[in-house]
Amino acid sequence: MDVALVPPLMVSTGFLPTGSLLQSLIHICNEVCSMEKLPVLQARNISTMIRRIKLLTSLFEEIQESNGPLPPSSVLCLTELFSVIRRAKFLIQDCKDGSFLWGLMQTELVSNQFYVLVKELGRALDILPLSLLKVTADIREQIELLHRQAKRVELFIDLKELERREELLVLMGSNSEKNKKNKGFIDLVKVKDILCSIGLRNTMDYEEETLKLEAEAHKQAGSGGLIVVSNINNLISLVSYCKSIIFIDDEFEKPSKEDLKVQSTPSNRYYDHSSSSQSLIPNVPDEFRCPISLDLMKDPVIVASGHTYDRNSIAQWINSGHQTCPKSGQKLIHMALIPNYALKSLMQQWCEENNVPQVQSSPSSSSDLERSNSKRDLYEHAVDHISVVKAAVDAVKLTAEFLVGKLATGSPDIQKQAAYELRLLAKTGMDNRRIIAEAGAIPFLVTLLRSHEPRIQENAVTALLNLSIYNNNKILIMAAGAIDSIVNVLESGNTMEARENAAAAIFSLSMIDDCKVTIGKHPRAIPALVRLLKEGTPAGKKDAAIALFNLAVYNANKVSVVFAGAVPLLIELLMDDKAGITDDALAVLALLLGCSEGLEEIGKSRILVPILIDLLRFGSPKGKENSITLLLGLCKDGGEEVARRLLMNPRSIPSLQGLAADGSLKARRKADALLRLLNRCCFQSQNQIG
């Protein structure tokens, strides 16, 4: 919140006319006093500031009603008051519209900004000639009282806000050690109470708070430094995690009939108190036994088939070379082991009720995923600028694992919501994208691309797009066999947004050279992009164009792009101002010149040359470069007809000469080459005539 840095209204030789100044003062005072839905934070500072401004409104209205001339000394005072009230309005608006959590973290700073404004108000009233103004005695007394109060005002910082902030930081910091030892969740009850106390009460509030924090992080990125941005990102992670657990858990964790049966069975039928060995524990519920070892599970995990096993047992099964589910015989489409937190919670509750000792998984049986997590822990400690960083990373990890579990076992409605939450979580931060992938989300999201439910498909493809921004995830997405499903969405997705995000995902994946080859070989990928180039919204057309550009960088794909019919569409888009992708279309056309099929197809157009000549004059710097590239390519290798058409156009030579003199280095070089070529063509024509 940088409201205190807003400069005062500068007044030098030109004061506003008296009438305009008073009208402006009354107008801005009314704006402040009519503000609705004021925030919970800074409540006292805001309310007292509004009360002071209301008193000043009465003064300004009386002065205006008197219609008398104002003493010159009062104009300076009124101008200073306008500056103070204007900055007070901005500060209150910032408190109202900004992030509540960031406001809580900045309590002292914001309180001090209110204090400074009141002090400036007092200094402005120092030079107010009340005795010379035609106002009533009541107004004069009120303004004198306001002046005295402003002169002796003290800084007010709400102790309750400080307590809430300290409680929140303690909870976030202490959670790091809890999660390290036993993967325990943060104390959600306390966190929810704190967030509720500052105005975050429902899922919409949480979503708005996330957007406000992201905006604050963007604003602070240029001036606040890495630690400030890191702190804000930690708060984003906390809000996202709490939203997922607090508001989704009620819907997600509806127990099945089997779970209800387990919970309602009398506890005394399960455990023989004479033995503590697992093999001697009779009547353990079948749901708690591993289908492989038949023992009480220590660490239940879900495999791709949806069945649950003990981590040790299924890891040994997979490591021995098996690629099928032991229970169903179904082939596993991936080898990710997703923690089954819901079942583990029921097991822990049952063990506590029946005095069954809970044995933790041994370190020697940890999976590769767990070993990679330990490496990640070392990395996280290395960049732990402040105590809450580790807690925030743990919150993202827990959120991701929780949501992936819902993707694996939830109903369609639950899968839709989980995919949406993962989509949002993957939107910001490379760490978030890495952690989500490590939680095993990618294979499940790929599976959801085949869903007939529009929102599930849209959320899944957008989540994969966001995840693909992290380079390592590109490889994982390709390895999960995602291309065929992404192309299906691109070709015939349930919504246009899903199709366009599929195109953007192809663009992102094709940043890796090997992916360019794989995607280009898919028989329907490039034709589907060309179709979107024709049917999509302006944003979708741009996504398709940049994806085609990336793919056409690989020479073998150029011919496929040409044969798919891209060239006429790209030329048509050069004339479509609404599409707004002129530069992207030019870049693809310039690349397609690199193959004979592309050169031939581009040369067939009768409207392209005049368009390119206009772009030489009015295009962007990059557009001008690509326009010259196209013209130069068309004029070479027997393109005499194009050269003659250029010479006949009165605008072409001046445009080329201007670029040769003032264009970019690349534009100057190509403009010189094209001018020499046109000069030779002109010379040859004269010789033939001669």
**pLDDT score for 262:** 35
Q: What share of the chain is helix, strand, coil (3-state, %, to 5)?
A: 70, 0, 25
**pLDDT score for 278:** 43
> What are the residues whose beta carbons fall under 8 Å from the beta carbon of 523, sequence distance 6 or more?
none
**pLDDT score for 374:** 44
* Partners of residue 594 on adjacent β-strands: none
- Our CA dihedral for 668, 672, 678, 683, rounded to 10 degrees, sits at 160
User: Element (H or E) spanning 624, and its range?
Assistant: helix 621-635
Q: Distance of CA 336 to CAs 234, 441, 485, 557, Å?
A: 27, 9, 20, 34
**Residue 508 buriedness (CB in 10 A; 0-12 / 13-18 / 19+):** buried
310 backbone dihedrals φ, ψ, rounded to 5°: -75, 140
In 3D space, the residue among 456, 528, 454 whose CA is nearest the CA of residue 495 turns out to be 454
Q: 331: which DSSP letter? A: B
**pLDDT score for 549:** 93
**pLDDT score for 307:** 81
Which two three-digit tokens encode residue 244?
């997922």
Computed on alpha carbons and rounded to an integer, the radius of gyration of the chain in Å comes to: 34
In 3D space, the residue among 437, 403, 400 whose CA is nearest the CA of residue 251 turns out to be 403
In 3D space, the residue among 561, 563, 554 whose CA is nearest the CA of residue 516 turns out to be 554
**pLDDT score for 227:** 65
Which two three-digit tokens encode residue 45?
């500072």
**pLDDT score for 359:** 53
**pLDDT score for 273:** 33
> What are the residues whose beta carbons fall under 8 Å from the beta carbon of 554, sequence distance 6 or more?
513, 516, 517, 520
Using DSSP, state whether 300 is helix, strand or coil.
strand
Are 441 and 422 spatial neighbours (Cβ–Cβ below 8 Å)? yes
**pLDDT score for 264:** 36
- Which residues of the chain carry a pLDDT beneath 70? 1-19, 173-187, 221-227, 230, 247-283, 358-392, 579, 637-639, 683-690
Which two three-digit tokens encode residue 611?
């368009």
End-to-end CA distance of the chain: 78
